[in-house]
Amino acid sequence: MPSHAPDHPDPLARERAHLTASRAALRAMRADVEALDLRDVAANWVNAEALHHQVSERIKALADLADTPLFFGRLDYLHAPGAETAEGAEGERFYIGRRHVHDADGDPMVIDWRAPVSQPFYQASKKAPMDIELRRRFGYTGGELTAYEDERLSDPDEAEQTSKLLQSEIERPRVGPMRDIVATIQPEQDEIVRQGIGGTICVQGAPGTGKTAVGLHRVAYLLYAHRERLARSGTLVIGPNRSFLHYIEQVLPALGELQVAQATVEDLVTRPSLGAVARGADSADAARIKGDARLAEVLRRALRSYVTRPTEPCVVVRGSRRWRVPAYELEEIVEELLTRDIRYGAAREALPRRIAHTVLVRMEQAGEAPDDRVQDAVARNAAVKAAVKAIWPPVDPAKLVLRLLSDADFLAEHAEGVLDADEQKTVLWAKSARGVKSAKWSPADLVLIDEAADLIERTPSLGHVVLDEAQDLSPMQYRAVGRRCSTGSATVLGDIAQGTTPWATASWEEALIHLGKEGARIEELTQGFRVPREVIAYASRLLPAIAPGLSEATSIREAAGDFSVRAVSPAELDTAVIAACHEVLRHEGSIGLIAADARVPALAQALDTAGLTHLTPGEETSAGSRLTLVPATLAKGLEYDYVVLDEPAAVVDGEPDERTGLRRLYVALTRAVSGLTVVHGAPLPERLTA
């Protein structure tokens, strides 16, 4: 890479000059795109609109964010990459950043972190220098380059040591939405990020190991390496709730990727056009049964029951001739289609053509010479249409599920040998005259409708799907997600220990089977970068009870973090929690007050009385408002510099069973980046007192 900065005896001044020149080059790149004249380029208005959209997105991607470093590292190669490593071969220097920047001649000034030439920035070490002479990391303050740090990987006499700038970046206070980790990706994370698009990968990650960030950076990498393919097929990030999606939504745009959709599982399966919108809720037992994979078989049976065995012949009149297809031949056609087990809608579309083919055979036997046009005409014949409607009627997936859940006899007929009588009774609605539009569908019901819809018509598949907090999905939810990447790949992220639904998966192998990705590679991340050592050690006391097979996470953070457990009388609990909030607000960074959902109203009132302005999860941070009151059920995936945890026993008691409650508590305990204060009036769970 040619130098774009003047020689200067001060290395820091030289690097600042390169930053200034790179920013100027980025502005020039943006100006070139803005100056494009598109008036005579597109042949029609559709192409013109598409081209204008592409240019607009390109302009957005070239935005220079003042508080986001344009480059964060530098690599000095011993030899030119790709060249023979003969003695005397000249090496090259590359600045590594979030996006590619080139000068007016097209020469690179900043190399995209995803490019192959950038990989040694994350992977090179003293033992495996990867032809790197020097790796330089840069430190920034408010967007200004203020420091650098060098590692001479080719020098055997220089001891390998922990990067202070890297450590500082990892421990930097968190304020606002989640940020990218592109400057701090570790070797084991980088290996996952750069996995090819051909296969699905599942990442089991303990709290603070960066699994969510790894998944998002993997999307960014795949879009870089397979942009045209994914532009056609699409990508999607699936999160557990809107608060979580709001928290992570700025990561990909910061990396220059603006076209990745985000959704929850409920978003995917909501079908307003069918009247399928969640307005109700199930009991834990009903939701667990509806989420069981056995319901897929019940739905399949119920749908096939709409196919009626023909008892009358189909008579097609063409001109003066009548062509008769007897009932037994119609039954043979129907049986063959059922045996093939193709989708209900596809079979329904095939049936008239099969009947028409039988008629054409009759015509040929009678000496006629019909062609494809005749077959099409016969398939559209009124008699054939009537026969198809009688034999293979159209089915509305929402009405099918409504009938199953409201008609005890219909459910019993198709759940025989699959669900026992008690399970059938649990999922049945109380008798009422509700229709599809007025039905109070639950989230689990919407998944059943989605399954039924896929049994009728194939769900379109995306190129790649990232599924985060995947441990909480039911088998039927896994199937719903799997349909969205049936011909693509997936990145599955989660932590078995953080499964907080009664139907949470027991193993990733089982989850991947339901997802339709059996045999996918499973990676485990146990090295933590977020949670302080003392905090993760305290939370890990729960692991034997909630996930005995998992390894305990370790933390590389040098700072031990602030950690305290305070016992007070029940009457003093609210006062003690408010006092703890006052204390942590003296520190820089974000503050999360996490409490059992039932405790949130009382704490909100106590905060208001104390004059402490507070936010809700997903709400934008505003001046003077760094404190967020977080219901324990929404804490998953979020992080705060300091956490005050209110009454752990209430968090546990707020769940339908102890294991789920202890897992919810484990989540709440591991949201802290710099410090955790636990305040309790009731006795702590036994595992935390050991």
CA triple 209-215-218, angle to 5 deg = 125
Identify the burial level of 152 via C-beta atoms within 10 angstroms of its C-beta, where 0-12 means exposed, 13-18 middle and 19 or more buried. middle
From residue 509, alpha-carbon distances to 176, 203, 487, 488, 520 in Å are 35, 12, 20, 19, 8
The answer to whether the annotation marks 206 as part of a ligand binding site is yes
**Dihedral over alpha carbons 168, 170, 174, 176 (to 10 degrees):** 120
* CA–CA distance, 439 with 441 (Å, rounded to integer): 6
Q: What is the arrangement of strands in the sheet containing 235-239, beginning at the earlier edge strand?
A: 261-264, 235-239, 464-467, 489-494, 201-205, 521-525
* CA–CA distance, 267 with 274 (Å, rounded to integer): 14
The answer to whether the annotation marks 358 as part of a ligand binding site is no
| Three-state DSSP state, 146 | strand
| Three-state DSSP state, 422 | helix
What value does the CA radius of gyration of the chain take, rounded to a whole number of Å?
31
The answer to whether the annotation marks 637 as part of a ligand binding site is no
Pair 91, 79: CB distance under 8 Å: yes
The answer to whether the annotation marks 60 as part of a ligand binding site is no
* CA–CA distance, 50 with 42 (Å, rounded to integer): 9
DSSP string, 534-574: HHHHHHGGGHHHH-TTSPPPEE--SS--EEEEEE--GGGHH
* CA–CA distance, 130 with 149 (Å, rounded to integer): 19
Q: Which residues contact 71 (CB under 8 A, 6 or more apart)?
A: 19, 22, 95, 96, 97, 98, 110, 138
CA 442 to chain centre: 22
* CA–CA distance, 510 with 493 (Å, rounded to integer): 14
* CA–CA distance, 211 with 168 (Å, rounded to integer): 20
Pair 414, 302: CB distance under 8 Å: yes
The answer to whether the annotation marks 207 as part of a ligand binding site is yes
CB atoms within 10 A of CB 600: 20
Phi, psi of 51 (to 5 degrees): -65, -40
* List of E strands, 590-654: 591-595, 627-631, 640-646
Q: Which residues contact 269 (CB under 8 A, 6 or more apart)?
A: 276, 443, 446, 447, 449, 450, 480
Pair 677, 644: CB distance under 8 Å: yes
The answer to whether the annotation marks 611 as part of a ligand binding site is no
Task: Return the structure tokens found at 313.
Answer: 């012949």
Task: Return the structure tokens found at 262.
Answer: 């985000």
The answer to whether the annotation marks 326 as part of a ligand binding site is no
The answer to whether the annotation marks 210 as part of a ligand binding site is yes
Binding-site residues sit at: 205-212
- Known binding residues for ATP are 205-212
